[in-house]
Structure 1
């Protein structure tokens, strides 16, 4: 029997929660909602992680950024941050700490549902291809790292440090690993990681790239080279292992 995709809405505005429950239920999703971080923690403890979380930035108690960081320590569940319409800082911070996408308030139901479906499609494709990356590899070795494509964890060969990648980090890294020594422009990166072309003056891609470089300790850009005016190139050696 087909199980509905379960979405958890975290927003302290009861009217917004009710509207989102109505919109998303009509779109075929199973929806739960809570008003703050404390209620969210209780829900996760009792029900486990949903298929996707819609997380408002402005919350009483722990804000959305803090909650996103807490979730990322435990799970790679897709997270869409709900941000103020004109506050680019919120959007950038959300991406930096591991959110997969953001949508600015106010938003139309059609826009929200389209973004949710696009993110879920990307996550589904990643799961389907996790063990079927080039050469049907479970593990991919690049530079000083070994990536386990099933657990979304990378292990450093010398220090044995383990990093857990969010869905968007994994999508970006897999894009580079699948196209080593190729120049990828911003639109290609945005479509692969966010399901749409890059918007003019959008900084989200820069944030994603910066975060991935930081997580990989790529301070000298040994892995990801900036090709000015053209895009980016992954230059580390890549080996696929079954």
Structure 2
């Protein structure tokens, strides 16, 4: 591998099951397929981890666990993130499945399970999630962002502008706030053109088609906002 080649980060999977042997089996199977796996033994710990670091690509939950059932954990996690959730449980009734999907599950696999089927379902969920939205990761020291598998080099101000918009997804940020946050200077009327030029430059690097942006959106008369897929 030549210097400067980018190695994609491993997909991160969180597994919550009170049976340590199940956790170890899942961890072994998934790590053999190049995933990074974190395991916990109760629903509350799963919620705490997701709350502290919304960086997981997939969450696998048992239903019956100490401190918090998996279905309750799923409801809490759904308030924090759209990360795919799979239930892996011995419970197999229709009512169990209905309750799991109602709590926010994307898939449901009954124990005992085939490790091959588990891997196939994991791959399918991750593929579906990848099509839905591409994760954005910021690298402060390098002033680069990774969008999906694509690494993009930005200028210092482009980086700060993009991070400001991304950190406030869905919220319209007025030009005065953008200018004073990114440039650190007092806003003047001429600042409008400065911000406009940098937004265009950022779109050219971030958007698939900068003439028809899907993420960095203009809200006329108000400012700009970042919109996910």
Shorter-chain TM range is: 0.5 to 0.7
2:36 to 30, 41, 48: 30
Does 2:58 correspond to 1:52?
A: yes
Pair 1:117–1:150, CA change in 2 (3 A):
farther
Please give the alpha-carbon distance, in whole angstroms, between the structure 2 residues aligned to 1:149 and 1:47. Answer: 21
* 1:63 aligned partner: 69
Please give the alpha-carbon distance, in whole angstroms, between the structure 1 residues aligned to 2:129 and 2:77. Answer: 17
Please give the alpha-carbon distance, in whole angstroms, between the structure 2 residues aligned to 1:45 and 1:12. Answer: 20
Does 2:83 correspond to 1:77?
A: yes
Pair 1:53–1:149, CA change in 2 (3 A):
farther
Return the index of the structure with the highest Cα Rg: 2
Does 2:25 correspond to 1:15?
A: no
**Structure 2: any 5+ residue segments left out of the alignment?**
1-6, 135-206, 216-224
* 1:118 aligned partner: 124
Deviation at 1:85, TM superposition (A): 5.2
- Number of aligned residues: 140
Deviation at 1:41, TM superposition (A): 3.4
**Structure 1: any 5+ residue segments left out of the alignment?**
140-147, 153-242
1:91-146 deviation digits (Å, cap 9, x = unpaired): 11111121111111111110001001001111111226xx88xxx7849xxxxxxx
CA RMSD after TM alignment: 2.6
Q: Under a length normalisation based on structure 2, what TM-score does the superposition of the two structures give?
A: 0.55
Q: Under a length normalisation based on structure 1, what TM-score does the superposition of the two structures give?
A: 0.52
